[in-house]
């Protein structure tokens, strides 16, 4: 069975770039009939908070991305310690005592000589006396994973064949001097223990994957299948950050974004598929293919998302909208059908509810024209033919036509120069309200 995971760090709010990764994994699992695991990478005790974790879960549920299993790395420290000891006992981990300043000096010297800044494996050559000296100085070792200097290859579902040479990579630090773990070891251990079959993540992890391929092997496991997708940027090409509040899932939700508009956009941006709104996640999953992802850098376009949001609302049925309209009186399917085509955000419905049933401030510039129009209001009952019959009569009586006919009537009836078609709105407003507005 296909098993995937989305592994956010609860050190900030969920932004659209991470939401895109969550959605890609969820859709992939659904399309394959598999399982989706949410894993909180919360080993950074200084920055991870329960509040951020709760917010991520809330955002995921709002998007509809329910998970089969929830795991937290903070509860699995014993598993990481066991993996570390196994690797150390097998000779794949070695202690290093350089300070950050010393490592920085080494890197600068290598770069100055035109060489890549690869760690020189000095830690492997330390004798007992040197180690004692470092420890007497109060230095705590950090631990590196000794890479085999061999070819590392895999077939990436997005990038195709990927090739690294082990000797061109630095032995990565897996354990800091304070005993805490960096990303790569816990991630590999979790993927093994949770039976992850496919990893879909950003292309910034490609080099990490080369290291983790050897980690999987050293821990006696078969690596999962990988897919590295280009990272989403803003419209100017700058990378997105979870600290950019304007592009968090929560801020978009609070700004009136529909979940399926955001899902539809994130599922298709950067792919060969058309960016169009879908009614449900089931629809998105039905034809989802991670291999449709392009190699170019996708850009987050707020205007395109806004247009999708409007399209999602324009296609929203009254039955689906009804629970969200419970706070408004006199709302029925006729009202919803009339105002729905003019919604950019769902909350806009309150404006048109006020136009139909509340008090508005009529805008009347030509009192004589509006008075003449008021005198020609047809008797009720009204329906969608009433607007044309009335405006034809006003046109015949005044000679006004086109914008000079329709705009003054709209301003007088609604107080606005735009809005739903008045042939649909006028019967809802009704003759009593229309007469009152036209007569000031």
**Same domain? 351 vs 434:** yes
**Same domain? 431 vs 288:** no
- On whether the CB atoms of residues 226 and 156 are closer than 8 A, the answer is yes
Model confidence at 244: pLDDT above 70: no
| pLDDT attached to residue 105 | 95
Nearest to 8 by CA among 75, 46, 59, 63: 59
Model confidence at 339: pLDDT above 80: yes
**Same domain? 365 vs 404:** yes
- On whether the CB atoms of residues 362 and 384 are closer than 8 A, the answer is no
**Residue 2 region, left (φ>0) first, then alpha (ψ -120 to 50), else beta?**
beta
Q: Within 13 Å and on the Cβ side, how many CA atoms surround 43? A: 24
Model confidence at 181: pLDDT above 70: yes
The lowest-confidence range among 31-35, 219-223, 325-329, 389-393 is 325-329
pLDDT in tens, 138-179: 999 999 999 999 999 999 999 999 999 999 999 999 999 999
Model confidence at 189: pLDDT above 80: yes
In a domain, 213, yes or no: yes
Q: Is 64 helix (H, G, I), strand (E, B) or coil?
A: coil
Residues 43 and 186: their CA atoms lie apart, in Å, by 9
| pLDDT attached to residue 237 | 78
In a domain, 29, yes or no: yes
**Same domain? 257 vs 214:** no
**Same domain? 394 vs 281:** no
**Same domain? 252 vs 366:** no
In a domain, 32, yes or no: yes
Q: Which residue has the higher pLDDT, 174 or 238?
A: 174
**Same domain? 431 vs 350:** yes
Q: Other CB atoms closer than 10 Å to residue 135's CB: what's the count?
A: 13
Q: What is the CATH number of the domain that holds 225?
A: 3.40.50.620
| pLDDT attached to residue 245 | 54
Residues 434 and 412: their CA atoms lie apart, in Å, by 9
Q: Identify the domain containing residue 356 by its residue range.
A: 323-440
Q: DSSP letters of 125-192? A: G--HHHHHHHHHTTPPPEEEE---SSEEEEEETTTEEEEEEGGGSPPPEEE-TTS-B-SHHHHHHHHH
Percent of the chain at pLDDT exceeding 90: 95
Q: What is the CATH number of the domain that holds 438?
A: 1.10.10.350
**Same domain? 335 vs 293:** no
pLDDT tier at 45 (50, 70, 90 boundaries)? Answer: confident
Residues, the chain: 440
Of 314, 346, 375, at which residue does a domain stop? Answer: 314
pLDDT tier at 412 (50, 70, 90 boundaries)? Answer: very high
Q: What are the phi and psi torsion angles at 176 (to 5°)?
A: -75, 170
> What residues are paired with 225 via a beta bridge?
198
The β-bridge relationship of strands 160-165 and 151-156 is antiparallel
| pLDDT attached to residue 238 | 81
Residues with Cβ within 8 Å of residue 130, at least 6 apart in sequence: none
Whether cis (ω within 30° of 0) applies to the bond prior to 381 is yes
In a domain, 24, yes or no: yes
* Number of structural domains found in the chain: 3
**Same domain? 332 vs 289:** no
pLDDT in tens, 84-126: 999 999 999 999 999 999 999 999 999 999 999 999 999 999 9
**Same domain? 207 vs 62:** yes
| pLDDT attached to residue 110 | 94
| pLDDT attached to residue 367 | 95
Q: Which residues of 356-387 are buried (b: 16+ CB within 10 A; e: fewer)?
A: bbeebeebbeeeebbebbbebbeeeebeeebb
Q: What is the CATH number of the domain that holds 254?
A: 1.10.1160.10
**Same domain? 375 vs 436:** yes
pLDDT tier at 210 (50, 70, 90 boundaries)? Answer: very high
Of 314, 338, 370, at which residue does a domain stop? Answer: 314
Residues 168 and 107: their CA atoms lie apart, in Å, by 14
Nearest to 181 by CA among 146, 205, 145, 225: 145
Q: Is 43 helix (H, G, I), strand (E, B) or coil?
A: coil
Of 166, 195, 229, at which residue does a domain stop? Answer: 229
- For all residues of the chain together, what is the average pLDDT? 95
**Same domain? 65 vs 187:** yes
Q: What's the average model confidence in pLDDT over 262-291?
A: 96
Q: Where are the alpha helices (DSSP H) in 222-277?
A: 249-254, 259-268
DSSP classification of residue 370:
H
């Amino acid at each position: 069975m296909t098993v995937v995971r989305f592994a956010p760090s609860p050190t900030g709010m969920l932004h659209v770039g991470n939401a895109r990764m969550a959605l890609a994994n969820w859709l992939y699992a659904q399309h394959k009939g598999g399982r989706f695991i949410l894993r909180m990478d919360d080993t950074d005790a200084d920055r991870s908070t329960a509040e951020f974790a709760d917010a991520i879960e809330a955002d995921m549920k709002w998007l509809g991305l329910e998970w089969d299993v929830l795991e937290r790395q903070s509860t699995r420290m014993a598993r990481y310690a066991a993996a570390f000891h196994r690797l150390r006992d097998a000779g794949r981990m070695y202690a290093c005592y350089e300070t950050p300043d010393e490592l920085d000096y080494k890197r600068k010297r290598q770069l100055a000589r035109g060489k890549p800044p690869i760690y020189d494996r000095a830690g492997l050559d330390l004798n007992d006396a040197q180690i004692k000296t470092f420890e007497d100085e109060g230095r705590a070792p950090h631990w590196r994973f000794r890479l085999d200097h061999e070819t590392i290859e895999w077939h990436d579902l997005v990038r195709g064949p990927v090739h690294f040479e082990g000797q061109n990579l630095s032995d990565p630090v897996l354990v800091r001097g304070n005993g805490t773990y960096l990303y790569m070891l816990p991630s590999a251990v979790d993927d093994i223990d949770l039976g992850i079959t496919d990893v879909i993540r950003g292309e910034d992890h490609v080099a990490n994957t080369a290291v983790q391929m050897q980690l999987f092997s050293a821990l006696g496991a078969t690596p999962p299948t990988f897919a590295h997708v280009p990272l989403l940027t803003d419209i100017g090409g700058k990378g997105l950050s979870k600290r950019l509040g304007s592009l968090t899932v929560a801020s978009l939700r609070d700004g009136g974004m529909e979940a399926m508009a955001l899902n539809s956009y994130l599922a298709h941006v950067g792919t060969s598929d058309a960016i169009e709104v879908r009614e449900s996640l089931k629809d998105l999953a039905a034809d989802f293919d991670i291999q449709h992802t392009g190699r170019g850098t996708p850009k987050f376009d707020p205007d395109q998302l806004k247009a999708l949001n409007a399209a999602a609302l324009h296609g929203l049925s009254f039955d689906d909208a009804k629970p969200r309209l419970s706070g408004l009186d006199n709302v029925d399917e006729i009202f919803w059908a009339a105002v729905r085509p003019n919604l950019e955000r769902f909350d806009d419905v309150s404006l048109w509810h006020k136009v139909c049933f509340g008090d508005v401030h009529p805008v009347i510039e030509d009192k004589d024209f509006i008075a003449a129009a008021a005198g020609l209001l047809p008797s009720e009952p009204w329906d969608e033919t009433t607007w044309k019959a009335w405006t034809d009569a006003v046109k015949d009586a005044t000679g006004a036509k086109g914008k000079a006919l329709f705009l003054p009537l709209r301003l007088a009836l609604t107080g606005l120069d735009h809005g739903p078609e008045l042939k649909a709105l006028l019967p809802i407003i009704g003759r009593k309200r229309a007469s009152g507005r036209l007569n000031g």
